[in-house]
């Protein structure tokens, strides 16, 4: 039975991915910052919960201990940063450091720990269209995701035995997206489950390492 680690599995896209993998008879380990929400998700879906914050080295070590052998790592846990979204000219630098710590340094640190366990498996880093498009207010989050894209590309070049993907899932109806637009109605956005088939297609077909948009994978499926 293949094994996957999905960070940020208590809600949103991470939870949807964990549910899809469990339905395919995968063993799934999931983490999340909210122990109560993670426990509920783990019980409802059927995965192993390891609560904690990916920016914490002790928590990353616990995740590594839980995954002696691994077929899939999904770095989904992310931080939006300040809400409402500020311009870069006024972005609090301490908060920006936290965004980079969560969205860039923590995924790379976890990858460094888990590469021996991942062997010839699949690595997925969840990206965003804000990594490649210039949206007002999205400079903090977007630049961090752009850095993660480059980290992903270099890891793919350095580890040809792995399938290494940065995936832009598109705008989804999640709590984090709601924080980006406080007070606005985002009910017109698709649910996270709608992007899951794109991720599963990458697992099934294992195309060359690179950056992929879920919308493109879904259209050509």
| Catalytic residue set | 141
Which of 149, 55, 150 has its CA nearest to residue 98? Answer: 55
Vertex 29: Cα angle to 26 and 31 (nearest 5): 145
Do the Cβ atoms of 212 and 168 come closer than 8 Å? yes
Short-list 31, 75, 28, 73, CA closest to 52 = 31
Quick one: which of 18, 27, 31 has its CA closest to 78? 31
Between the alpha carbon of residue 174 and those of residues 15, 74, 158, 177, the distances in Å are: 11, 17, 33, 5
Q: Torsion over CA of 139, 146, 79 and 74, rounded to 10 degrees?
A: 160
For residue 188, give Cα distances in angstroms to 146, 172, 174, 178, 220.
Answer: 26, 9, 12, 12, 23
Assign 3 to helix, strand or coil.
Answer: strand
Q: How far is CA 112 from the centre of its chain?
A: 16
């Amino acid at each position: 039975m293949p094994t996957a680690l999905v960070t940020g599995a208590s809600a949103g896209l991470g939870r949807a991915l964990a549910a899809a993998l469990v339905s395919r008879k995968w063993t799934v380990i999931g983490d999340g910052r909210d122990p109560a929400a993670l426990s509920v998700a783990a019980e409802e879906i059927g995965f192993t919960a390891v609560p904690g914050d990916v920016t914490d080295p002790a928590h990353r070590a616990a995740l590594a201990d839980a995954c002696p052998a691994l077929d899939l790592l999904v770095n989904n846990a992310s931080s939006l940063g300040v809400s409402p979204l500020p311009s870069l000219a006024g972005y609090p630098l301490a908060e920006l450091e936290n965004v980079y710590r969560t969205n860039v340094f923590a995924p790379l640190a976890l990858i460094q720990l888990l590469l021996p366990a991942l062997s010839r498996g699949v690595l997925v880093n969840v990206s965003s269209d804000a990594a490649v498009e210039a949206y007002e207010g999205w400079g903090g989050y977007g630049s961090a995701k752009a850095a993660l894209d480059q980290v992903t590309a270099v890891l793919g070049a350095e580890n040809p035995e792995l399938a290494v993907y940065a995936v832009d899932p598109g705008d989804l109806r999640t709590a984090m997206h709601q924080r980006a637009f406080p007070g606005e109605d985002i009910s017109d956005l698709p649910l996270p489950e709608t992007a899951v088939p794109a991720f599963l297609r990458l697992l099934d077909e294992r195309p060359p390492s690179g950056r992929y948009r879920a919308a493109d994978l879904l259209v050509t499926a």
